[in-house]
A = this chain, B = another copy of it.
Amino acid sequence: MYRRLGRQTVQLSSGPSILSYAGIAGKKEGQGPLKERFDYISEDSYFGEETWEKAESHMIRQCFSLACDKTGLAPSSLDYIFAGDLLNQCVSSAFAMKDSHVPYFGMYGACSTMAESLSLAAMLVDAGYARTACAVTGSHFCSAERQFRFPLEYGGQRSPTSQWTVTGAGAVLLGASGSGLRVTHVTTGAIVDAGITDANNMGAAMAPAAYDTLKAHFADTGRSPADYDAIFTGDLGAVGHDILQALFDADGVRLGARYMDCGVLIYDLNTQDVHAGGSGCGCSASVLGAHILKAMEAGVWGRILFAATGALMSSTSAQQGASIPGICHAVAIEKRDS
């Protein structure tokens, strides 16, 4: 049975259940608009570890454990873990999960990792290859700054279009049976290269990918933005948010107030000095795990589209003058009573 709708979308027949989820964050994120929503906020940027890379790993492991604890499932009983991050060779996820002894799929989707992981986890559970699967990712401001930009001590100036890497992690645990929140559709993005070369303007680099994937999702499913109570992009920030809205406006498609961006939601852009907003794997992941899914369970939204975005570049590709290809993966989530 071929279960594909159109070019990029799969409709899940069973609608795998979201068994549990968690979202944790660092101090700065814990002072933002979502401060009441996180499961845990660390006052210590080292999370008790010796290095920021180990802190990132610690945070991802902690978030994973929290999600498992909420279901009462032993972490080691899971069928699959899907995880990835921004650090070179995705070490923070690998070290976070190295003692779990769960079949492990390492992902690289940059800041789209949560949607990418959730997509594959949902498909494998829906197909009966797994009873349970976890999607988990995170990012850390300090490890990202020193890897991608400058030593923190340097105190480099930031351009107005730049974004602030979120210190945070998110985990979502899927199961074959359960009630409540379900993943119903997976739209997998193709890479879109709009030719942007400014590494301080990721929003502009990723917005065309979000446009491409959302358009595909609407075309494949026959749905329109109005079929969703809320649509979230990953971490386009304020700049990318406006570009995406303008791209749809030009098509005569109104995203309207239901359209929000995780990079805009996580900080107070007026007072927290983050310029265009949040970014990093932990941005959309922690907003999903701490805020969006909780609000859905509380009845705020009945059906949402979660479309995390990623910029598929490295410091080396930027230094070699290459453009910044973007990607966006979208997952539709619905609250069902049965």
Contact = CB atoms under 8 A, between A and B. Distances in A.
Interface of A: 1-4, 7-8, 10, 50-51, 53-54, 79-80, 84, 86-91, 94-95, 97-110, 116, 119-120, 123-124, 126-131, 147, 176, 188-193, 312-317, 320, 322, 325, 327
A99 B53 CA distance: 33
Chain copies in the assembled complex:
2
A312 B1 contact: no
Contacts of A129: 3-4, 10, 123, 127
A177 to B, nearest CB: 11
Contact of A87 (B7, B86, B103, B314): B314
Contact of A97 (B51, B94, B126, B191): B191
Please give me the 10 A-B residue pairs with the lowest Cβ-Cβ distance, nearest first: A127-B127, A103-B188, A94-B312, A89-B314, A106-B108, A108-B108, A98-B325, A98-B191, A90-B108, A88-B314
A134 to B, nearest CB: 13
A4 B84 contact: no
Contact of A313 (B89, B313, B316): B89
Nearest to A143: B316
Contacts of A190: 100-104
Contact of A105 (B95, B97, B116): B116
Among A3, A8, A80, A106: residue with most chain B CB under 10 A: A106
A149 to B, nearest CB: 14
A124 to B, nearest CB: 6
Contacts of A313: 89, 91, 94
27 contacts: A1-B128, A2-B176, A3-B128, A4-B79, A4-B131, A10-B129, A80-B188, A87-B316, A88-B89, A88-B314, A88-B315, A89-B313, A89-B314, A91-B322, A94-B313, A94-B325, A95-B325, A98-B312, A99-B193, A100-B190, A101-B191, A104-B189, A105-B107, A105-B120, A105-B188, A107-B108, A127-B128
Nearest to A124: B123
Contacts of A110: 89, 106
A123 B116 contact: no
Contacts of A131: 2, 4
A257 B103 CA distance: 28
A314 B108 contact: no
Contacts of A176: 2
A313 B100 CA distance: 17
A119 to B, nearest CB: 8
B89 A312 contact: yes
A104 B124 CA distance: 17
Nearest to A188: B103
A323 B194 CA distance: 40
A177 B193 CA distance: 33
Given A108-B84, A189-B104, A190-B103, A312 B2 contact: no
A172 to B, nearest CB: 17
A107 B107 contact: yes
A313 B123 CA distance: 28
B316 A88 contact: yes
B54 A128 contact: no
B312 A106 contact: yes
